[in-house]
Amino acid sequence: MQNFSEIQALMKSDLEMTDDILINRLNSNVELINQMSHYIISSGGKRIRPLLLLLCARATSYSGKDHHAMAVVIELIHTATLLHDDVVDESTTRRGQNTANELWGNAPSVLVGDFLYSRAFEIMVEPNSMEIMRVLSKATNQISEGEVLQLLNIRNAKVSRSEYFEVIEQKTACLFKAACQIAGILSESSKELITALGSFGMHLGNAFQIIDDTLDYESDSSIIGKEIGDDLSEGKVTLPMIYALEKTTGKENKILTNAITEADASNIDNIVDILINIKAFEFSRNVAKDESIKALNSLKVIPESNYRSALKLLCELSLERQS
């Protein structure tokens, strides 16, 4: 197994059943909800989070059917956060397409995001597992806290590495963690194994977000589906910039600080040159690699199988991705 397509082929049946449930459960008597929710769900993306749940379920020998519905819950929660994020960030494009708020406006986007959240909670009770509900309710609360923390850090050139990690662990990695834990709960795994799955998801989520933040500066807009330096234009301070602020002085440091405090990406070419010269991208990718290694180490308690191999490959691919 060497690429993402092979992982998808391995999970073809599970993914198809999950998609069927997702489409069915998106249906509403309100036509605008149908239009917007189907637009968002079908707008691209690899659906890494639900795939993680499905893979972890198979890797722990789960033989039931609830993992499909729980994968849908994970995807609905993630999609709801994207809708709300795009409103907060005033984004106009995502994955190379117009955002829902650009097409329908902010109010419908927030309300349809609320619908997706509530539909997710409607589905999550179906396995009748208090432990699953506890994991998911905690994760959605953490996501909200992470978003607020990120908002508080806007235009703050003094954000530390630890503060950055606090944001990404709550905003992004906690849903990766929840997806993996739920699989272990469904398969009635030991507490040790569920903890290991959660650790795997958390570290993989961290690596995924760090690479995402790095690509915002070093990739190409035609590849990542948004403008280079979008995070900077929104005043977001991510790991490459935190490292750059630590390693620069004088004029260069002032350029970076002003760009953050003014949320100004107009000088992005010069800023990228500074980041390249001090090897900020190399540093960030090494931090992501460390997180990926921690994720891989967490898999040691899981028996060998094609599904475990796929999880290991996801760790490697998360570091290599370009979008």
- What CATH number does residue 254 fall under? 1.10.600.10
Structure pTM? 0.94
Give the contacts of 65 (CB within 8 A, at least 6 positions apart).
17
Contact 98, 92 (CB under 8 A): yes
Q: From 154, 157, 282, select the one nearest 210 (Cα to Cα).
A: 282
* Domains held by the chain: number: 1
Model confidence pLDDT, tens digit, residues 159-193 = 999 999 999 999 999 999 999 999 999 999 999 99
- Whether residue 323 lies inside any domain: the answer is no
User: Domain span at residue 246?
Assistant: 4-318
Which residue pairs from 84-91 have beta carbons closer than 8 angstroms and sit at least 24 positions apart in sequence?
84/109, 84/110, 84/113, 84/147, 85/147, 87/113, 88/147, 88/151, 89/234, 90/234, 91/226, 91/230
- Whether residue 28 lies inside any domain: the answer is yes
State residue 91's pLDDT score: 87
Rounded CA-CA distance 96/228 in Å is 12
Model confidence pLDDT, tens digit, residues 252-305 = 999 999 999 999 999 999 999 999 999 999 999 999 999 999 999 999 999 999
SS3 220: coil
Q: Write the CA distances from 134 to 126, 131, 141, integer angstroms.
A: 14, 5, 11
Model confidence pLDDT, tens digit, residues 263-274 = 999 999 999 999
- Whether residue 143 lies inside any domain: the answer is yes
Q: Which helix (H) or strand (E) holds 133?
A: helix 130-152
Rounded CA-CA distance 272/33 in Å is 40
Rounded CA-CA distance 8/112 in Å is 29
SS3 263: coil
- Whether residue 139 lies inside any domain: the answer is yes
Regions of the chain where pLDDT drops below 50: 222-224
* R_g (Cα) of the chain, nearest Å: 20
